[in-house]
Structure formats: C-alpha cells, structure tokens
Amino acid sequence: MRATDFNTALLALQRTKPVITVAHCADCHFPDHSPEALELTYAIYKRSKPDVIVVGSDEADFSVLSSFDPDPDAAEQTIDVLDDFSAFHRTHVERLRKAVPKALIVFIHGNHERRIFNFLAIHAPYMRRYVGRGWIDIVRAGGLCHWVGNVSEILITDHLLVKHGERSSEHVSKAMLVDAGYQVSIMAGHTHRLNQFTFKGYHRTVTAVTSGCLCKTVPGYMSSKGVKPLRQWQQGSAIARIDVASGNVWIENLLYLRDENGVLQTVLEGAVITA
C-alpha cells in the first residue's frame, strides 16, 4: 500500500467521521517486548476502536546492531534480524487487525528501526536498496499495514502529529511543542516515560505527550549484565481523539500498573482494563 492509499483513506475518514480516534503503539522493541503490555494494549484497542493505529516507532529493537554490547544469549539465537522481526511484526499486525478490523494501520520509523539502515550504509552499502525493498515488504505484512515512506512522523489531519520523537529531557513534551511552534498537538514515544504539556495558543489549545513503552522495563542489554537502569521506565500507550470540525485534540496518556495480584491494568474512560 502506497502513501497515496493511506492519505485517500484518511481523507475519507475526515469526511465521514466527526471524531477520529488515533492510537500510537510505540516502543515494543521486539524481541525485548512485554507480552503482558501488548495483551493489555490489544484489549484497550478492542474497547476504544481507534480509526488509525500508528505502529513501528521502535517496534524493532535490532539489539545485535546496537552500540551497546548485545546480550550474548540473544546474539546466539539471532540468525537473521529481518527474519526475526518479520515474524514478530506480522503477528503483531494480525492481532491489531483482529482487535480493530477496520483500523488504518500505518508504520513510522523510530531510532531503533534506523539501525538497520545505518548498518547497511556502513557494512553493505551496495545492497542497501535491495534490502530496503525487502524491508518495505516486511512492514506491509501482506497488505495489512500501510507504508508511507522512510518517515519518523505522520500528520493525522492538520491538528495531530504522531512521531517517534528524539528528545528525552525532563520537559520533553513542552520542548516538542516549542519545536512545532505550538501549532499542532503531538503524540510521541521514545522516552519510555509518561510526560504531558498543554498550552493555550492564539487559535487553539495544543497538547503534547510522550507515552510509556510496551517492552520490558529493564532492557536485555542491561539485564544480561545484572545492571539496574538509571532511567525508571514506565509501560503505557496513548490515544487521541480529533474533533474534525473544530480541530480540537484530546489525548489520553495511559499508564499501565499492576494491581495487588500482579495483573497489569490501566484506566480508560473511567473503566479499569486488564488483558
């Protein structure tokens, strides 16, 4: 599916739906994902029925291509990083499609997906176009997922920007709004921590959030060495609703926490959701 196909479908949504719901499914980091966090996310989507689901955004990890020393056990089990990712991605997209059959699923890159292109540029520059075409086929997952190009962000109407993100400061959400000139609301990932900032501009109020991750809260490259990470990661996801007529955007930044029995849960529109 081409970018024009996605844009056409998005325009059709704007003509037929007064409110468009958008989900950002960021930071899965396959194969370092959290199965519980993903199951909870599928349950959230089944209930909220997003019209658009943005995937990718560090869906892959490619830890063996990282600047960090990889987990030796993971490295021994990795025969082909693209084959490994393809299996995870296809299953993930199929689960999303089962939860929300009519959703537009679209892929954007995070910094971890870019590892494969950096690796090719350095080690196999004369194969990068061929491998790049294979990457696009993997992302499309047999037509289940839209590929809109080598991008790390996507504009949903003129009022919501969904991006992976590159900032990680304490005031990251405010910084993103400053970067965008306070012109558009933003959903991002990357930090693995919930953060939010809302600003009343001249024409409208805009909000930016960074959501939690859907991976393990202690990454493999640290857990394999018995090192406790300095950053306290949080699990979660974000859902936005766009009023098409007014351009107003509301973003619900969902924090995943464990109950007294250790079951992962969150609260969506006042209701407790579990996997």
**Mean pLDDT value across residues 218-222:** 69
Model confidence band, residue 202 (pLDDT cutoffs 50, 70, 90): confident
Residue 89, domain extent? 3-158+216-225+235-274
Residue with tokens 């291509």: 65
pLDDT classification of 123: cutoffs 50, 70, 90: confident
The reply to whether 88 falls in a domain is yes
pLDDT at residue 168 greater than cutoff 90: no
On the question of pLDDT at 136 being above 80, the answer is yes
Residue with tokens 């857990």, as numbered in its chain? 223
Number of domains in the chain: 1
Tens digit of each residue's pLDDT (9 = 90 or more) over 22-53: 999 999 999 999 999 999 999 999 999 999 99
188 part of a folded domain: no
Q: What is the pLDDT of residue 171?
A: 94
pTM for this predicted structure: 0.92
Q: Is residue 175 part of a domain?
A: no
The predicted pLDDT at position 229 comes to 56
Q: Is residue 177 part of a domain?
A: no
Strand bridging mode 146-147 / 271-274: unpaired
Residue 174 lies in a domain: no
Predicted local confidence at residue 230, as pLDDT: 55
With a cut of 80, say whether residue 151 has pLDDT above it. Answer: yes
Q: What average pLDDT score do residues 122-151 get?
A: 93
Is there a domain that residue 27 lies in? Answer: yes
**Residue 235, number of CB atoms within 10 A of its CB:** 27
Concatenated DSSP letters of 69-121: PPPHHHHHH-S-HHHHHHHHHHHHHHHHHHHSTT-EEEEE--TTTHHHHHHHH
